[in-house]
């Protein structure tokens, strides 16, 4: 073979390798974004349930009438479906933990390299009550 043919083969291998690497990176980015969206949707759902719990009378299994959300923490955890001593819940999207301080419920979802924290403040209006923050750790390669 001539020098030009070998050069073309080497160049083709480099281009194909780069295209495969870019494709893998794009797939990983999309998977991470989908996972973040699913975790955020779960936390939004839990937030709506926390607000519903706070507005439901205690005679119907809610927390209305409690001095603070922290006073009804175990009832809230049961209402949301969180179990165990650490108030945890696991689904296909993440492992969630619940903690309550005064009138703010904090739900943290952790899955692989993504951590999402949702704070639900029952003293605010429904539109401003739920705040979600994300942090992402880089995988160890």
pTM of the shown model: 0.77
Rounded CA-CA distance 83/78 in Å is 7
pLDDT at 140: 58
Residues 130 and 43: beta-carbon distance below 8 Å = yes
Per-block mean pLDDT, blocks of 10 residues, the chain (141 long): 86 92 82 89 92 88 83 89 87 93 92 89 84 77 50
Place of tokens 């739920």: 130
Q: For residue 22, report the phi and psi dihedrals to the nearest 5 degrees.
A: -65, -40
* Residue 20 token pair: 């495969």
* Residue 132 token pair: 């979600």
- Decide the pairing of beta strands 130-136 and 114-121: antiparallel
Q: Where are the domains of the chain?
A: 3-136
Rounded CA-CA distance 27/96 in Å is 25
- Sign of the Cα pseudo-torsion (90, 95, 100, 106, in order): negative
Residues 132 and 116: beta-carbon distance below 8 Å = yes
pLDDT at 61: 83
């Amino acid at each position: 073979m001539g020098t030009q043919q070998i050069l073309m083969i080497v160049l083709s291998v480099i281009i194909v390798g780069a295209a495969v690497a870019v494709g893998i990176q794009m797939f990983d980015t999309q998977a991470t974004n989908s996972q973040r969206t699913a975790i955020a949707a779960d936390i939004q759902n839990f937030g709506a349930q926390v607000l519903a719990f706070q507005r439901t009378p205690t005679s119907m299994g809610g927390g209305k009438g409690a001095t603070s959300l922290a006073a009804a923490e175990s009832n809230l955890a049961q209402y949301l479906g969180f179990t165990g001593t650490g108030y945890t819940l696991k689904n296909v999207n993440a492992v969630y933990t619940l903690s309550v301080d005064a009138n703010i419920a904090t739900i943290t979802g952790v899955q692989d390299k993504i951590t999402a924290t949702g704070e639900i403040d029952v003293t605010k209006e429904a539109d401003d009550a739920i705040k979600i923050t994300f942090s992402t750790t880089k995988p160890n390669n």
